[in-house]
Structure formats: C-alpha cells, structure tokens
Structure 1
Amino acid sequence: MTRRHQQIAEELRRAIADGTHPVGSELPSESELALAHGVSRGTLRQAFGTLQSEGLIGSRQGARRTVLSTTPSQSFTELRSFAQWARAGDRAPGGLVLRSHRAKATEAQAAQLQLVTGETVLHILRLRTLDGEAALLERTVYAGWAAAAVEALPDDCESVTQSLYETAGVVMSHGEHHLDAVAAGTTDARELGVRRGSPLLRVRRTTTTAEGRPVETSDDRYRPGSVVFTVRNSVQANPLVRTAAD
C-alpha cells in the first residue's frame, strides 16, 4: 500500500509538472499544506524530503520551499536504479536484452570487478526505454558469481536491480559514476535511432554490494533529450570529484 507521504509527494509532483507551482515559485506553507491534506507536519516533511531528493524543490531556513525544476533528477548522493528513477518521475521504464554471452574477463574488467584476469564474466547488451521510447543502451559486464542469477531473469525485465534482490538476495549498495560524451557507434545509432557520430552522454558505472564486492561494471549511453543529469552543490557540501578525462 502506498504510504500517505508518498501520495502527497505524487500530488505535489503533478502540480509542479502541470504548472500549478511553476519554477521559481514558493509552495504553500507547511501549515497550509498539512491542513489541506489532513496530515501532520511530520508526514508532510517526509513528502518534502522525497521531492527535494528528486531535485524538484529546495529549502532555506525560515523560508517556504521553492520549486527548482519540473523534471525529477537523480541525486549523486544516492544510488537508484534506472527503473526507480523513472518511476519517481511518473515515467514507465522498460528494458530488453539484445545480446548476452559469457567470456573471459579482460585485465581491465578483472580490475574493476576484483577478479583474476581470465575469469568468466557475463556480457549483456540491454536497451532501456522510457514510455516505450529508446532512452539508453547499456553494455554491462557482470561478475561470474552473479551471472546465473542475471541469466535467469526475463529478457524484458523492468528492473534488474530489484529482481536480483528478490530472486538472489543481491543488494547493490554503492556506485561509482564517470560521465563524459562519446560519438554514437553503429550499434548505438541503430538501437537508439540516432545518426552515427551523434553525441551521446555516457555514464560509466561500477556497482558493489554493501560489503564492497563488485556486481557489475557498465558503459551506459543515453539518447539525446532522454534524460538530464542535474548537479546542485554548495560551499558547505560538495560530494562530487572532478577528474581529468581519460
């Protein structure tokens, strides 16, 4: 059952998206919204916390919450799967495995997954969609110990992260992400419906369990216009690290 603060967050999310609360405007006060929804301020603050984590609203001490964006974004301080992020924005996520095969890990893959060079890994090429439209192409390499659980999932699995947790107890707790731009190759162009050579946003990520055991490493390429990564930082808190391009 959906909890009350989640229902309130969804109502406010829709009001922001449809322009009832435009970017730059202030939301009604806590007391006004708590009265309107018939809930305590504590419940309302949980809803605010959800919207803040999505980058939709911001807050300053002594001031009302301000609308920052109409599109939910993913914070770099939390780890969310593609499906979780999509649903938070009221989008329908989808996925389809295009190719799958096992192979020996290269030296680079072994280093990323903390394996011995030559150990077996699983390669998955997966197309991700938003509302039925191609959004990104994932080239994921899974550590051998997780391969069987991944192969057992249906090719159109909506959320690999959630399914691995439910079927094999694998919890992906930590992620490292590197963002850059690349030109679309032949496969990218065909599957994402763009011209070869078109610029794509690339996110290279490695995900580990709570114990630090690598589960996967991936090269994710986003179709132009499908997603926006928003970074908000301050002089008090800046979790981002700037590194030189490879």
Structure 2
Amino acid sequence: MAARHEEIADDLRRAIDREEYTIGSRLPSEAELAAHYDVSRGTVRQAIAALTAEGLIGSRQGARRVVLASRRSQSFAELRSFAQWARAMGREATGHVVAQEYRRATEEDAVHLQLRAGTPVLHVLRVRGLDGEPVLLERTVYADWIAPAVEVIEPDCPSVTQRLYDDTGLVLAYGEHVIDAVTAGAQDARLLGIRRTSPLLRIRRVTTTREGRPVEWSDDRYRSDAVTFSVHNSVDSNALARKTAK
C-alpha cells in the first residue's frame, strides 16, 4: 500500500495533468493542502518534495509552489502517431486518405529518405480528425521499401503507425521535427473547413527505424485552434533547438 505522501503526490500530479492547476499557477499553501487531505504539514512537504524533484513544480522557501510543467507531454510514439496522441487525450481519432499515388522522388525526397532521385516513392494526403472534426492535413512521402505495405492499408485506417507495426513489425524509433507557421492555401482551407490564408501550425518531420533507415518524411499542417506544442526543458536538459526560418 502506498504511503500517504505518495498518494497525495499522485493526486496532485493528476490535478496538474487535468489543468486544475495550470502551468504558472500556484498550488494551495501547505496549510491548505494539509487541511484538504487531513494530514500533517510534514506529509504535505514530502509530497511537494517529490513533485519538485520531478520538475513539475518550483519550490522556494517561504513562497507558495508554482506549477512549472505537466506530465501530459507526449511520448515519441504519441508525437509520431496522431491516433495514439488522441487516445491518450481521451479523444477519438479519425483519418481519411484524400489522394495516394506513386511519384518519382524529387531531390528533396531523396535527401530526406536517403534514396536516389527518381526512385518511386508513395505520396499520401490524409485528413485527420478529432471526434469527427478535421484538424490536420498530413502530406507524407513513404520510402520505396515500405510503400507497398502502406498502399494496401484501408483509406480510413485510424492509425497507420499501429497497422504497420501489426503487419510488418516496423517500429518507428527516431524522428526530427521542424515546427513553423504557414497560411492555408485553397486546398488546405477546403479540406480543413477554414478560411483561405488562415494560420496553420506546420510540422515537417522525418522518421526512421532503430537502425536509422528513413521510413517517411511528412509535411503536417494543424489548424491553429486545434493543438499547441510545449517544450519542457531545464539547465540540464534541452531538447529544443531554435533556428532561423528558411
């Protein structure tokens, strides 16, 4: 059975995840938390110490604790897979292939996928939705060696990532993501049900196997009112690289 301070720490973690305490807000005082949980202030301090060690809250003597982060950050699988992310958030993911065709790899395709220019690659345009509402366009180019497995997946498959794992054992292990902003063109606006020139959050990504073999590269465009991305870093760990726009 978990100790009382561990139960309190876990309850506070869930409250932060549910955004009952949002990033930047202050937790109740030690006295208020002790009264709420009917425990001593020493027990509350133990729970607070655990959250501080995890980087979820900031602690300064004599001041109320400030929420610094949430555990609702994404695993790599969730960042790669729209469907897995949606499920983790308690939402239903939908998807539909709008267009799918083989083309000869351009120089850009060849660089991203480490292929020769002219190699046949599979281009797929998908509309992804949350609870039936379109929020994302995926323009994905699949390498020649995995394209046949993607080509036979049904157009409304909610998770291509999961299907490729089930069918071929493929594990997408590494990825690079470049995030910027663009405006919606005519096709984007029509497929997402928004006005032309509306702002979109764009993520360009390349995903590889554990061995570093490129599987796909994609230009993903999210409706700006549908999703945000946050980065939790510290003086010891920084996964964010800031670059000038190209």
TM-score, structure 2 length as denominator?
0.75
Kindly report which structure 2 residues correspond to 1:31-110, keeping only aligned pairs within 5 A, or say none: 58-59=56-57, 72-74=72-74, 79-110=79-110
Structure with bigger gyration radius: 2
Pairing 1:1-246 to 2, within 5 Å after superposition: 13=14, 17=18, 19=20, 24=25, 26=27, 58-59=56-57, 72-74=72-74, 79-246=79-246
Q: Quick check: 1:183–1:199 contact (8 Å CA) kept in 2?
A: yes
Q: One-letter code of the match for 1:154?
A: E
The structure-2 alpha-carbon separation of the partners of 1:65 and 1:108, relative to structure 1 and needing over 3 Å to count, comes to same
Q: CA deviation at 1:72?
A: 3.8
How many residues get paired?
A: 216
| CA distance in 1 between partners of 2:188 and 2:11 (Å) | 34
| Larger mean Cα displacement after TM superposition, 219-228 or 85-94 | 85-94
Q: Is the 8 A contact 1:138 1:218 kept in 2?
A: yes
Q: Report the residue type matching 1:17 in the other structure.
A: R
Structure 1 spans left out of the alignment, 5+ residues: 1-8, 33-44
Deviation of 1:241 (Å): 1.3
Are 2:124 and 2:141, in contact at CA under 8 Å, matched by a contact in 1?
yes
SS at 1:145's partner residue? coil
> Per the alignment, in what secondary structure is the counterpart of residue 211 of structure 2?
coil
Instruction: State the 1:66 CA deviation.
Output: 6.7
For structure 2, list consecutive stretches of 5 or more residues without a partner in the other structure. 1-9, 38-49
When the two structures are superposed, what TM-score results if normalisation uses the length of structure 1? 0.75
Matched residue SS, 1:84:
helix
Deviation at 1:65, TM superposition (A): 9.1
Residues 57 and 67 of structure 2 are in contact (CA less than 8 Å); yes or no, is this contact kept in structure 1?
no
1:93–1:71 distance in 2 versus 1, CA, 3 Å: farther
Percent of matched pairs sharing the same residue: 52
Against the structure 1 CA distance between its residues 200 and 79, is the aligned structure 2 distance closer, same or farther, given a 3 Å change threshold? closer
- 1:198 deviation in Å? 1.2
1:159 CA displacement: 0.9
